[in-house]
Amino acid sequence: MAALRQTHYLSARLRPLTTIPLHRLFSSDTKTLTIETSVPYKSHIVDPPSRTVETTPSELMTFFREMAIMRRMEIAADSLYKAKLIRGFCHLYDGQEAVAVGMEAAITKKDNIITAYRDHCIFLARGGTLLESFAELMGRKDGCSRGKGGSMHFYKKDSGFYGGHGIVGAQVPLGVGLAFAQKYNKEDTVTFALYGDGAANQGQLFEALNMAALWDLPAILVCENNHYGMGTAEWRAAKSPAYYKRGDYVPGLKVDGMDVFAVKQACRFAKEYAVKNGPIILEMDTYRYHGHSMSDPGSTYRTRDEISGVRQERDPIERVRKLLLSHDIADEKELKDIEKEVRKEVDEAIAKAKESPMPDPSELFTNIYVKGCGAESFGADRKELRTVLP
């Protein structure tokens, strides 16, 4: 059995430091708290942002709740998959929630996010509902893509979520295209193009980065480094695992992706940078508890100790919970109640999604072409060509 190399993430420790005296914690809800991120940022060609993040109790509670919903959704999807209600590929995001929540907290709905197939939680963060998620996973009509996309094709155009892509790395040139459109239309917004450590070795990434840097496009490339490209550990796939440095002439920042405040600060910093100067790379050091997808047990290439170690020491929800408790913003019971409520919400969404019908057979042929100037009519009788289903 190959020895697992010691990787740095096991040594990151939880270390919330606060400077607020105790008596001030009992005042109003909009009090700002100052929190230090778990580890300082590592940067490449740029001055990193400060380690100190300001937040409010209500923001902490929102983070807790949102991450709890995401966690619960992914675990529920796991059971649904095992019950064969979800088929095909299902890539789960639990463990990485801090990236989705932190990123969303730093940007607006006018900014764009595009990601690969591990997209359920980012869809939720961008404003998708649990019902749309579960219905799409089960292939029902009420899904966000009307049941025709599936797990890997969640999209939400009105809030700038561009999916949802199955081919590794292909979403990064698309993301640069979104940034191009933002620059073309002179909007002061940015695009976050997410990809994994496996995709970081794709050539099209470097091509896209070159173009983004050439034209100063507001593209932020975010590498969600969960250290495994399916079954291949990063040290076996990449000669240089410093993904944030791979931009060479493009600045980069390495962020602890399990710390929602570090992510939020980094994304805010990146947005300010990209709008003025062009592309920047963020490497989110994160971890996924599940395997690559539901067909992968996730334990053949890593030990259970490693997984449970990360869960104990770096879990994003636990970190926020400890902060909430130590700052006396909420007590154990309140947090347990929130989790119970979240569980109920998820169960209700699943029940409702199960009631949603499968798409109509005629939907097989809709949305292939858009009516309009093109595709007016075709077929031997000049009407639209339809195949009759047996």
Partner 1 sequence: MAASIQSLAAASSLSAANSIDSKRVHASIPGRKASFLVVRSDLRGSNGSNLKGHRVGNLVTNAVASPEAPASASKSGHEVLLFEALREGLDEEMQRDPRVCVMGEDVGHYGGSYKVTKGLANKYGDLRVLDTPIAENSFTGMGIGAAMTGLRPVIEGMNMGFLLLAFNQISNNCGMLHYTSGGQFTIPVVIRGPGGVGRQLGAEHSQRLESYFQSIPGIQMVACSTPYNAKGLMKAAIRSENPVILFEHVLLYNLKERIPDEEYVLSLEEAEMVRPGEHVTILTYSRMRYHVMQAAKTLVNKGYDPEVIDIRSLKPFDLYTIGKSVKKTHRVLIVEECMRTGGIGASLTAAINENFHDYLDAPIVCLSSQDVPTPYAGTLEEWTVVQPAQIVTAVEQLCR
Positions that interact with partner 1 (CB under 8 A): 112, 114, 143-150, 153, 155-157, 162-167, 170, 172-178, 180-185, 203-204, 207-208, 210-211, 214-215, 366-370, 372-382, 385
Which of the 8 DSSP states describes residue 156? B
| Nearer to partner 1 among residue 235 and residue 378 (C-beta) | 378
Pairwise CA distance, residues 38 & 292, whole Å: 26
What crossing angle do the helices spanning 97-106 and 316-326 adopt, rounded to 10°? 60
Q: How far is the CB of 212 from partner 1 (least distance, A)?
A: 9
Q: How far is the CB of 97 from partner 1 (least distance, A)?
A: 24
Q: How far is the CB of 380 from partner 1 (least distance, A)?
A: 4
Q: How far is the CB of 356 from partner 1 (least distance, A)?
A: 14
Give the β-pairing of 52-55 and 33-36.
antiparallel
Pairwise CA distance, residues 89 & 297, whole Å: 13
What crossing angle do the helices spanning 316-326 and 304-314 adopt, rounded to 10°? 30
| Nearer to partner 1 among residue 49 and residue 169 (C-beta) | 169
Residue pair 72/343 in contact by the 8 Å Cβ criterion = yes
End-to-end CA distance of the chain: 53
| Nearer to partner 1 among residue 173 and residue 196 (C-beta) | 173
| Nearer to partner 1 among residue 65 and residue 156 (C-beta) | 156
Task: Give the DSSP letter string of 29-72.
Answer: TT--EEEE-SS--EEESSPPPPSEEEE-HHHHHHHHHHHHHHHH
Tokens of 234: 């990063």
Pairwise CA distance, residues 308 & 314, whole Å: 10
Name which of 38, 154, 37, 143 is nearest 91 in CA terms.
154
| Nearer to partner 1 among residue 136 and residue 224 (C-beta) | 136
Q: How far is the CB of 170 from partner 1 (least distance, A)?
A: 6
| Nearer to partner 1 among residue 123 and residue 244 (C-beta) | 123
| Nearer to partner 1 among residue 79 and residue 377 (C-beta) | 377
Q: How far is the CB of 269 from partner 1 (least distance, A)?
A: 24
| Nearer to partner 1 among residue 255 and residue 281 (C-beta) | 281
Residue pair 74/123 in contact by the 8 Å Cβ criterion = no
Pairwise CA distance, residues 98 & 107, whole Å: 14
Name which of 189, 135, 127, 130 is nearest 161 in CA terms.
127
Rounded-to-5 percentages of helix, strand, coil across the chain = 45, 10, 45
Q: How far is the CB of 206 from partner 1 (least distance, A)?
A: 9
Name which of 287, 297, 269 is nearest 49 in CA terms.
269
Q: How far is the CB of 248 from partner 1 (least distance, A)?
A: 15
Contacts of 55 (CB under 8 A, 6+ apart): 32, 33, 35, 261
Q: How far is the CB of 368 from partner 1 (least distance, A)?
A: 5
| Nearer to partner 1 among residue 108 and residue 326 (C-beta) | 108
Tokens of 286: 């994160």
Tokens of 341: 């409520």
